[in-house]
């Protein structure tokens, strides 16, 4: 994949407290190769992971008391400065002003009105990830938010997304559409089960065997946040990595013989 339209997911990045520890955890879990360490000053020792010989995700330092470890999506843009203007006009905040990693990208970091962080990615030679929807790559970004109505206004204004709402049990699930194509989802944080977890983006990585990956992740220091569960799309689980970042995995099909929600 080399042509990512503005507003579509372009990249995923892990902000962590332990870069080498994150590499030791994720590389064998997803079959990633640690392809390079970007030591340009703007990149701050940023790791790039490859899947099938192609860039698929990154990781960098920067987590701390005010910024816990987390996975974060980057959305494609052809104008990072214009994205800054749209974000602030729609009620979001700029966390990091646009900066260049020469030969790669121009990026900026934001928080939406509910505080969920995300970035934009303007290609300066690297369009973003080159593989999606295969085992060991991003298959679905999902905004998990306490303010779904404000999110619809915000992301529609900034990226031109439209909301396709569908009932899912007691809640309404939103599929974000860009030019008629689904690009992300939104889960409202309703009820007491969420505790004090802030609004955030949840990233789903494709796997071939959800239960096997869960077992391996637990063996190497992860904790289980949501046990493997069958859905129509596949079997998913939510994990917390050894440094504290949440992420989800989903297999291509539910477990054989299991009921499908």
The pair of structure tokens assigned to 193 is 């089960």
pLDDT of residue 181: 96
pLDDT of residue 41: 44
Q: What is the pLDDT of residues 5-57, one digit of tens each?
A: 999 999 999 999 999 999 999 999 999 999 765 554 444 568 999 998 999 99
Q: What mean pLDDT comes out for the span 194-199?
A: 92
Q: What is the pLDDT of residues 111-133, one digit of tens each?
A: 999 999 999 999 999 999 999 99
Q: What is the pLDDT of residues 133-150, one digit of tens each?
A: 999 999 999 999 999 999
The whole-chain average pLDDT of the chain stands at: 91
pLDDT of residue 65: 64
């Amino acid at each position: 994949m080399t042509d990512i339209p503005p507003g579509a997911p372009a990249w995923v990045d892990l902000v962590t407290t332990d870069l080498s520890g994150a590499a030791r955890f994720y590389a064998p879990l997803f079959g990633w190769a640690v392809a390079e360490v970007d030591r340009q000053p703007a990149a701050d020792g940023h790791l790039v992971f490859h899947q099938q010989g192609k860039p698929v995700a990154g990781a960098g330092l920067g987590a701390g008391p005010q910024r816990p470890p987390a996975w974060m999506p980057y959305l494609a843009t052809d104008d990072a400065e214009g994205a800054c203007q749209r974000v602030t006009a729609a009620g979001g905040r700029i966390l990091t002003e646009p900066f260049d990693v020469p030969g790669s990208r121009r990026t900026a970091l934001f928080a939406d009105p509910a505080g969920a962080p995300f970035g934009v990615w303007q290609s300066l030679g690297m369009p973003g990830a080159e593989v999606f929807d295969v085992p060991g790559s991003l298959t679905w970004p999902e905004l998990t938010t306490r303010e779904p109505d404000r999110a619809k206004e915000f992301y529609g204004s900034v990226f031109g997304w439209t909301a396709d709402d569908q009932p899912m049990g007691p809640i309404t699930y939103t599929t974000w559409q860009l030019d008629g194509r689904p690009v992300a989802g939104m889960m409202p944080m309703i009820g007491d089960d969420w505790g004090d977890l802030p609004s955030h983006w949840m990233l789903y990585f494709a796997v071939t065997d959800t239960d096997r990956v869960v077992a391996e992740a637990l063996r190497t220091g992860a904790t289980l946040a949501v046990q493997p569960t069958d859905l129509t799309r596949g079997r998913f689980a939510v994990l917390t990595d050894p440094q504290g970042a949440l992420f989800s995995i989903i297999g291509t099909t539910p477990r054989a013989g299991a009921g499908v929600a």
